Amino acid sequence: MILKITLFNKDIPEHHLFLNEAKLSAIALSIYFASLLQGPSSRLKILALDDVLIGLDMSNRLPILDILESEFSDYQIFLLTYDKQWYEIVKEITQSQQKWEYAHLYCQNIDEQEIVVYSSDNSDNPYLDKAKDYFQANDYKACAIYLRTAFESMVKDFCLKNKLLVTYHDQKNPQIQYFWNAITKGKDRHKKPWLTDQELIRDIDLSRRFLLNPLSHSETINVHKSEIERAIKAIELLENELNAKLG
């Protein structure tokens, strides 16, 4: 196969010096995908893509997901990446398909040996699961950090999915309180409050003010196990309430 690049009817012989990395990667992937579809059929079909999309910009990455869904739906696909942001985008887009498994792979030093660890990431709220793990390990500071992250993640996600109006002063760094206000003070399309459990709202506010926020910084505070446990239950209840509103 010989590829030719032309610009204004003029041949570009050294196309690898003319086209940027994104274009070259897109062309290479197109040829690779086409070769797979033209090759001999097999009962066992596996497609492994190890960070091959890293050279593409987002406008070229997203169509690849559509191609995988439409042209390779009968393949077992392994999509690997070091790019955490891209990983989260793919997870958000593909979760509705209910076909994908999500996991983190990392190395851990055990008895002076590098061991590959597989950590499943299929939970709807992995931050809350992490918080519970650290609670069981009596690491309350780490638990509080993950609880705070779980809270921030779920309220932002709820506002996004319900298209809530969120006040902000800095568009690049909107404060989480604005998202929380949109939920606690806002109403749905039937003019009913998103949250009616005032005791839950109070528990969340108290936990954030006196527990989660201080523990997420360098402040020294006295922490009791029962307070952390109460905060976990409040975040769990909030998650259930918000999920119920999502239907």
Query: How would you write the pLDDT of the chain (247 residues) with one tens digit per residue?
Result: 777 888 888 888 877 778 888 888 888 899 999 999 888 888 889 999 998 887 788 888 889 999 999 999 999 999 999 998 889 889 888 887 888 999 988 887 777 778 888 888 887 788 899 899 999 999 999 999 999 999 999 999 899 888 898 887 666 667 899 999 999 999 988 899 999 999 999 999 999 999 998 988 877 778 889 999 999 999 999 999 998 887 5
Q: 20 and 79 share a domain?
A: yes
List the beta bridge partners of residue 112.
Answer: none
- Candidates 162, 205, 204; CA nearest to 186 is 162
φ/ψ region of 200 (left if φ > 0, alpha if ψ in -120 to 50, else beta) reads alpha
Two structure tokens written together for 87? 């990983």
Q: 62 and 106 share a domain?
A: yes
Q: 89 and 131 share a domain?
A: no
Q: 134 and 223 share a domain?
A: yes
Q: 58 and 112 share a domain?
A: yes
Whether the full predicted model's pTM is greater than 0.75, yes or no, is no
Q: What is the pLDDT of residue 169?
A: 67
Q: 67 and 112 share a domain?
A: yes
**36 is in which domain, residue-wise?**
6-120
∠ CA 181-187-206, rounded to 5°? 35
Domain final residue pick, 63, 89, 120: 120
Q: 113 and 144 share a domain?
A: no
CATH of the domain at 113: 3.40.50.300
Distance (Å, whole) CA 158 – CA 163: 8
Q: 51 and 96 share a domain?
A: yes
Two structure tokens written together for 79? 């999509």
Phi, psi of 119 (to 5 degrees): -120, 115
Q: What is the pLDDT of residue 235?
A: 96
Q: 130 and 232 share a domain?
A: yes
Q: Is residue 175 part of a domain?
A: yes
Q: Is residue 247 part of a domain?
A: no
Q: 180 and 197 share a domain?
A: yes
Q: Is residue 1 part of a domain?
A: no
Q: What is the pLDDT of residue 173?
A: 64
Q: 70 and 135 share a domain?
A: no
